[in-house]
Structure 1
Amino acid sequence: MNPVEQAVVWLNDPLNWTNPGGVLDRLGEHLFISAVAVALGCLVAWPVGLYLGHTGRGGAAVVLISNVTLAIPTIALLTILPLTFLGFGQRPVIIALAVFAVPPLLANAYTGLREVHPEVRDAARGMGLSGPQLLRRVELPLAVPYLAAGFRTAAVQVVATAALASFVNGGGLGQIISAGFGLGIATGGGQILAGGLLVALLALAVEGVLALLERLVTPRPLRRTGGRARRRAAAAGQA
C-alpha cells in the first residue's frame, strides 16, 4: 500500500484511537498544552498591551517585543528549555508556545485601544469618567474585535505548532508522527501522514470554532472592524 492507503487504514483502526497513547489520549494532551500556553500568553500580553494602548505610550516597545519573540524559533526554545530546571515534558513546551503566542495577542491589544477615536475618549472624559472607567466602559468594548482576532490567530498558531512537543516528550498529536518516523518511512509512512492530517484538521476546527465565537462576542456594528483586526493579527503573526 502507498502512504495514503496506509493512513486510511491506520485511521480506521479503532485500537489506534482508544488504546493508551492513542489518538484520543494524544488529542487531550494536545488541547491541554495549547490551552494552557494561550492562557499564559494572554496573562502576559494582554495587560501589557492594554496598558500601553490606554496610555498611548510604548508603541515602539510593542513592536520590539513582538519582533524579538517572533525572532526566537520555537524549536530552539524547545531545545534549550528542557536543559534548564524545567526538564523534559509539558512544562517547557507550554512556555515555548506561550512565547510564540505573545506577538499577535500583544499587538492586537495595543492596536485595539489605539484605534478608539480620540473624540470618543474626549466625550467619555467630558462625562466625568476616570482613567480606569474609560478603559473598562469605553475602550475595552470597542477593542473586542482586535482582542478576539489576536486570540484566534494565537490559538490556531499554537495548536499547529504544538506538534513539536514530541521533540521533548511533551505529548500531543506530534507523538503519533514521531512514532511513525521511528518505524521508518516504509512501515510508518501512513502513520506519519495520519498524524499530520490530524494536526491540520484540529487547527482547522479550532479556527472554525473561534471564528464563530469571535462573531458572537463582537457587537454587530463592530463586525466590519473585526475584519480589519484579523488582517492586523495575521500581519503580526507573520512579521
Structure 2
Amino acid sequence: MNYFHEGIVWLNDPLNWTNPGGLLERLQEHLVISLWAVLLGCAIGWPLGIWLGHRGRGGGAVITVANLTLALPTLALLTILPLTPLGFGKPPVVVALAVFAVPPLLANAYTGLRQIDPETREAARGMGLSGGQVLRQVELPLSVPYLAAGLRTAAVQVVATAALAAFVNGGGLGEIISAGFGIGMSNGGGGQIVAGGIVVAGLALLVEGLLALVQRLVTPRPLRTRRRRRPSAAAPAA
C-alpha cells in the first residue's frame, strides 16, 4: 500500500506530466505505436479472414494460425526484430504488436462471415447478386458486430502490451516504468513504477469502454436483440 500511495503522489505532481519524457509525451508515443500496430493488424487479419469466410474454407487453418500466433511471446519478438533491418525503435515494436493483434482480428472476421445463415446467401444469389455483391451488400454488413468485437479485443491487447516497447527503446508508457526500476525501489522508483502501471491499466480500460460503445453503435438493433437472446459465436483466438 505504501508504493500505491507513492504512485498516487507521483501522478499528482504536474511536472511528472509536462516535463520532457513525462507522462503526456509517453502517452502520446504509446497511442501512436498502438494505433499503427492495430492498423497493420487490420490490414492483414481482416482481408484474410473475410476472404476465407466468404469462400467457406480454411476454418481449421484460421484457428491454427491464430493460436500459433498467440503462442509467440511478444517479448521474444521484440528482442529478435531489432536484430533485423528494422533496427531498434518504433518499427519493430509496431510489427511485433501487429503480430499480436492479428489473431482476434482474423478469427472474428472469419467467424462473422461464417455465422450468416446460408439461406440468406442463397436468397441474395437468387436475386441475381454476384459473389462480390453478396460479400459487399449482405455478408459484410451482417458481420460488422464481429469485426468490431475483433477490433476491440485486438486494440485492448495491443495497448496493454505496448508497455514492453521500452525494452527496445521504442518509447511509450513502458519508459516510465523502466525509469522507475532504474531509480530503485528505495529511492522513490517504486511509486513511479506503480504510477506507470496505473496509467497503462487505465488506458486499456478506457479503450475497452470506448470500443465497447462503438461496437454497440455499429451493431444494427435487430442483431442486438438476437445476440441478447442467444450467445454469440466465440472467436477461436479471442
The two structures share one fold, judged by TM-score above 0.5: yes
Amino acid at match of 1:207: E
Pair 1:136 & 2:136 matched: yes
Amino acid at match of 1:115: Q
Query: Please, what is the CA RMSD of the aligned residues?
Result: 1.4
SS at structure 1 position matched to 2:234 = helix
Structure 2: distance between partners of 1:8 and 1:47: 44
SS at structure 2 position matched to 1:116 = coil
Q: What runs of 5+ residues in structure 1 fail to find an aligned partner?
A: none
Structure 2: distance between partners of 1:224 and 1:67: 31
Partner deviation per Cα, 1:91-124 (whole Å, 9 max, x = no partner):
0000000000011000000010000000000000
Q: Which residue of 2 aligns with 1:190?
A: 191
Pair 1:175 & 2:175 matched: yes
Partner deviation per Cα, 1:128-180 (whole Å, 9 max, x = no partner):
00000000000001101100000000000000000000000101111000000
Structure 1: distance between partners of 2:43 and 2:226: 24
Using a 3 Å threshold, how does the CA distance of structure 1 residues 225 and 193 change in structure 2: closer, same or farther?
farther
Q: Which residue of 2 aligns with 1:123?
A: 123
After TM superposition, give the deviation of residue 32 of structure 1 in Å. 0.4
Using a 3 Å threshold, how does the CA distance of structure 1 residues 195 and 76 change in structure 2: closer, same or farther?
same
Partner deviation per Cα, 1:43-75 (whole Å, 9 max, x = no partner):
001111000000101111101210121111100
Q: Which residue of 2 aligns with 1:232?
A: 234
Structure 2: distance between partners of 1:130 and 1:168: 49
Q: Which residue of 1 aligns with 2:72?
A: 72
TM-score by length of 1: 0.95
Structure 1 stretch displaced more, 55-64 or 113-122: 55-64
When the two structures are aligned, how many residues end up with a matched partner? 235
Q: Which residue of 2 aligns with 1:209?
A: 210
Structure 1: distance between partners of 2:137 and 2:217: 19
Amino acid at match of 1:158: V
Using a 3 Å threshold, how does the CA distance of structure 1 residues 129 and 171 change in structure 2: closer, same or farther?
same
Q: What runs of 5+ residues in structure 2 fail to find an aligned partner?
A: none
After TM superposition, give the deviation of residue 85 of structure 1 in Å. 0.8
Partner deviation per Cα, 1:4-31 (whole Å, 9 max, x = no partner):
2211211011010011110000000000
Q: Which residue of 2 aligns with 1:146?
A: 146
Amino acid at match of 1:160: A
Using a 3 Å threshold, how does the CA distance of structure 1 residues 225 and 86 change in structure 2: closer, same or farther?
farther
After TM superposition, give the deviation of residue 199 of structure 1 in Å. 0.1
Q: Which runs of 4+ in 1 moved over 6 A?
A: none
Amino acid at match of 1:13: D
Structure 2: distance between partners of 1:72 and 1:25: 30
Structure 1: distance between partners of 2:234 and 2:28: 31
Structure 2: distance between partners of 1:224 and 1:51: 28
Query: Are the aligned partners of 1:145 and 1:214 in contact in 2 as well (CA < 8 Å)?
Result: yes
1:24-35 aligned at under 5 Å gives the runs 24-35=24-35
Structure 1: distance between partners of 2:31 and 2:227: 26
Structure 2: distance between partners of 1:42 and 1:173: 23
Q: Which residue of 2 aligns with 1:112?
A: 112
Amino acid at match of 1:206: V
Query: Are the aligned partners of 2:63 and 2:237 in contact in 1 as well (CA < 8 Å)?
Result: no
Query: Are the aligned partners of 1:145 and 1:226 in contact in 2 as well (CA < 8 Å)?
Result: no
Amino acid at match of 1:200: A
Structure 2: distance between partners of 1:232 and 1:35: 25
SS at structure 2 position matched to 1:63 = helix
1:84-123 aligned at under 5 Å gives the runs 84-123=84-123
Query: Are the aligned partners of 2:70 and 2:237 in contact in 1 as well (CA < 8 Å)?
Result: no
Structure 2: distance between partners of 1:150 and 1:224: 20
Amino acid at match of 1:198: V
